[in-house]
Amino acid sequence: MGRSSITLRSFIATTGCLVAVIVTTQTAHAQIGVTTVSSNQSSVASQPSSDDVVNDPVSDPQTVRSPFKQSRWFSRVGILVVPYHSSTTIATNGQLVSGGTAKASNNMTVTFDVGYEVTKNISVSVTTGIPPKPHITGEGAVANLGILGKVRYGPAFFTGYYRFPKAGRLRPYVGGGAAYAIIFKEFDGSVKQLQVHNNWGSALQGGVEYELNSKYTLFMDFKEVWLAVNAHGVLSDGTIVKARVNLNPSLVTVGIKFHLPFGRGY
């Protein structure tokens, strides 16, 4: 019985030692595995993938460009056709000439304007051009006088207009403003010592733009103008002539628009 007890104690002690060794070994292996995985994850995290390398933004200042900002200032140049819807009230020596009138001849010239886009939809512009030279011809009761005279004048328009949202490449607009006739020179006809005076008028405007690219745009513009000027002179026999000439032109312009290389963009 004493020997069996000693044998049993020896077995239990040996078994306990073996279990302790096994547990210690397994724990050590587990810790090594966790350390290895953590090390591998850190290594992967610290090395960028090929996608990351490709998608990283290029910091070279020669290849990175700031977005293009189009200037708000613009200019337009075009061919202007000017048909007049003219009529005239004529008086000689203070007496109205019944049935007497006069007509202005139609013109064609080159026009240009400078404008500013206040917003993406609202623009303002100043329009002028090469001064036309219409002649005034008597009709009705004064038809026998023929060409009464000619005038070189510079029309100027100060307008604002609303540009509708684009429909493809097309963009219509409507607006209005003031017109001003600047008389540069008078040329006598049957009326001598001809004097014509500057005057203000009003205008309605409409048109459409066709965008060719980010720099150039074609346009067609229409203006209906209400404008009259006062004139006076003398006939060859000394008769004093005064007239109120209603020019009332319709202006049709076709040309190209481009933005100027200065000023603040959008």
pLDDT tens, position by position, 247-265? 999 999 999 999 998 766 6
Query: Six-digit token pair at 164?
Result: 């509708």
What gap in Å lies between CA 22 and CA 3, rounded to an integer?
29
CB burial string 202-222: b at 16+ within 10 A, e below: ebebebbbebeeeeebebebe
Which has the higher per-residue pLDDT, 209 or 20? 209
Q: Which of 181, 221, 216 is nearest to 75 (CA)?
A: 216
The DSSP bridge partners found for residue 187 are 150
Q: What is the pLDDT of residues 18-51, one digit of tens each?
A: 444 443 444 444 444 444 444 444 443 445 444 4
* CA-only gyration radius of the chain, Å: 45
Contacts of 76 (CB under 8 A, 6+ apart): 112, 113, 115, 125, 127, 219, 221, 255, 256, 257, 258
What are the φ and ψ backbone dihedral angles of 21, each rounded to 5 degrees?
Answer: -60, -45
**Once rounded to an integer, what is the mean pLDDT over residues 232-247?**
96
Residues 204-216, mean pLDDT to the nearest whole number? 95
Q: How many CB atoms lie within 10 A of CB 160?
A: 15
Report the pLDDT value the prediction gives residue 261, as an integer from 0 to 100.
85
b/e map of 119-148 (b: 16 or more CB within 10 Å)?
Answer: eeeebebebebebbebbbbbeeebeebebb
Question: d(Cα 89, Cα 101) in Å, to the nearest integer?
Answer: 6
Q: What are phi and psi of 194, to 5 degrees?
A: -65, 130
Distance CA 90, CA 166 (A): 48
